[in-house]
Amino acid sequence: MHEPVLIPLSPGTHRVRVSARGRGHHYDQSVTEASEHYLIQAWPQPRPEPRETHQDDNMETAR
């Protein structure tokens, strides 16, 4: 397991990207080792118009 790298962000508005992989490998099962991996990225950016995008991985989710 990798330790997260945390870098303090400056005050203000930021853009955030969250990526996931491996979510469907052991769907609805108990496992002893994680198979999901996440990457969270954030960077400063002036306030844009609100927008939400996503790609469905064919897993049922509540919204």
Amino acid 57: pLDDT: 66
In the chain, which stretches have pLDDT less than 50?
A: 62-63
d(CA 63, CA 61): 6
Q: Which residues pair with 14 in a beta bridge?
A: 44
What does pTM read for this prediction? 0.54
The 3-class SS string of 1-63 reads: CCCCCCCCCCCCCEEEEEEEECCCCCCCCCCCCCCCEEEEEEEECCCCCCCCCCCCCCCCCCC
What does the domain layout of the chain look like in residue ranges? 14-44
Q: Any idea of the CA torsion for 61, 58, 55, 25, to the nearest 10 degrees? A: 100
